Structure 1
């Protein structure tokens, strides 16, 4: 089974291709990551093409797609989800969603309680609590960094590093989400192992986008 994974929910654009057969460990064939907050749409497609080319694979060889579903800003997040939807429909393969905070937690490999916090802009973070890298114990939330820091746990992620003072100034790790972590979470659940959940490939925005639809004009009074 070939699993393509990618994420555009943060400033990182990341893609990876994994091979997995039931009963065997998953194997990373290719992976690429970069940071470009403003050009997710321009960066993602070449990243996918690159990991496929490095592995000597074609889109038609894929058996599943795994995509980060956020939480994240509207513009970046929709790029990954729209791409995953297009691939799933065109190739007729299943598309699995993975919480982007879970990908950060998984990549950390931590085995004691901690918080993941990513940058939500507006001086806020997206965050969740974990008992270990593979066990989330709270629903994803958005709010000031102080809300995430109130539990007094070590914090990791781009948001934790950005608002280090709120987390005690102890130099939190700016662990980014990786497509490799997303692929490994998806494969772990497809293999029937307990742990972080697979989600529908729908966006976790947690708040309304900055751009709002203009409402209908009010009728002029007579």
Structure 2
């Protein structure tokens, strides 16, 4: 199984080509630029394939991070993955982006993953260890997470934390592990997907996990200018 993994749910545009049968990453690319997902993704895929000496036609499976993530960036990776699947008849699998970050941490104790959701919010989830999420991902304002009386504050108090959201709001996520990557690596995403598939687990469909409405909204007093 030759697996192409990609994710654009965070400021990182990350791509990896993974040989699931040999359990090794053949090539990977990683760039952080929150405003250029659409420009960087396909050149990154091309670079990874060239470095590995493979062609897109050699790929059997595509793994894509489904978020949660901001609407504009997240849809770039998902649309690309589904386009590859439709054009080449590839199997397309989804994996929660927070799960990929958790897996890449390698932690074997309870911890929290948090990414920047913009709008002064974070996407976050709790984990029992690097492979086991506790509950569903959520989106909240850091101020709502803080405080001894906050329901969520009690849940995350004192736990190690990983991710760019935790780094950004270190006054709330006080156990930030600065020694661990803040963004997702497609290497970790691919290895996690390969492990789950090897165990016979069913992965997520490649559908976006937004958790909230997009920033763009139809104006409330929209004026119709076309003739009736």
* Pairwise CA distance, 1:172: 3.7
The corresponding residue for 1:13 is 13
Change (3 A) 1:105 1:86: same
The corresponding residue for 2:142 is 145
Please give the alpha-carbon distance, in whole angstroms, between the structure 2 residues aligned to 1:5 and 1:95: 10
The corresponding residue for 1:163 is 169
The corresponding residue for 2:37 is 40
Change (3 A) 1:218 1:86: closer
Aligned pairs (5 A) from 1:123-202:
123-146=120-143, 147=145, 149-151=153-155, 152=157, 153-168=159-174, 170-173=175-178, 175-192=182-199, 198-202=203-207
* Pairwise CA distance, 1:213: 2.7
* Pairwise CA distance, 1:193: 6.0
Deviations 1:14-41, CA, capped at 9 Å, x for gaps: 00001122xxx51110011010000000
* Pairwise CA distance, 1:154: 1.6
SS class of match (1:139): strand
The corresponding residue for 1:49 is 46
2:160 and 2:176 in contact (8 A); partners too: no
Select the residue among 95, 98, 102 that pairs with 2:95: 98
Aligned residues: CA RMSD:
1.8
SS class of match (1:138): strand
Structure 2 unaligned regions, length at least 5:
146-151
* Pairwise CA distance, 1:218: 7.5
Select the residue among 58, 62, 68 that pairs with 1:71: 68
SS class of match (1:166): coil
1:119 and 1:125 in contact (8 A); partners too: yes
Please give the alpha-carbon distance, in whole angstroms, between the structure 1 residues aligned to 2:222 and 2:182: 46
The corresponding residue for 2:214 is 209
* Pairwise CA distance, 1:185: 1.3
Please give the alpha-carbon distance, in whole angstroms, between the structure 1 residues aligned to 2:3 and 2:168: 32
Aligned length: 213
1:164 and 1:172 in contact (8 A); partners too: no
Please give the alpha-carbon distance, in whole angstroms, between the structure 1 residues aligned to 2:118 and 2:38: 20
SS class of match (2:128): strand
Structure 1 unaligned regions, length at least 5:
none
Q: TM-score, structure 2 length as denominator?
A: 0.88
Please give the alpha-carbon distance, in whole angstroms, between the structure 1 residues aligned to 2:106 and 2:168: 21
